[in-house]
Amino acid sequence: MFVKEHAEQLMMEDLCKKPVDGFSAGLVDENNVFDWSVSIMGPPDTLYEGGFFSAIMSFPQNYPISPPTVRFTTEVWHPNVYPDGKVCISILHPPGDDPNGYELATERWSPVHTVESIVLSIISMLSSPNDESPANIDAAVTTIAVIAPSEPPMLLPLI
């Protein structure tokens, strides 16, 4: 029970901090501290500028030992967002070695991460998509064509 109470305390402290520019969060239900409603403004000078994106950040009972999940509820066409809206970035992957060998253990979840660091990583993801390990291959191909139309198309390995 201590882990759950500690997780609730950490999440409430994060929720009460001054929000990151272009980001806001609140509880989906005041009786459930484990599900947050998150709003992110599309970063300037990106394909997402002017966009307003809603997501749900769900924390596991053993947070901060395990990472939360983030799922956009607004449709987002992005290489690192699965078609169902789930965000695929390194710091949201479980700690330890990557079974696929794409990420270093130091790039994955660590209990030192905060809601702020997660949101900053998502904003960074919107600014700089990682097309080397896409969650949405079609979005990766489209994004590459829009960002670098003069370069020849890159073939992505099927996983």
Q: Which amino acids are annotated catalytic?
A: 88
Distances in Å between the Cα of 46 and the Cα atoms of 2, 57, 148 are 43, 23, 13
Please enumerate in sequence order all residues whose Cβ is within 8 A of that of 71, keeping only pairs 6 or more positions apart, or say none: 55, 56, 58, 84, 85, 86, 87
- State the Cα–Cα distance between residues 107 and 116, nearest whole angstrom: 16
H helices within 44-136, ranges in order? 115-127
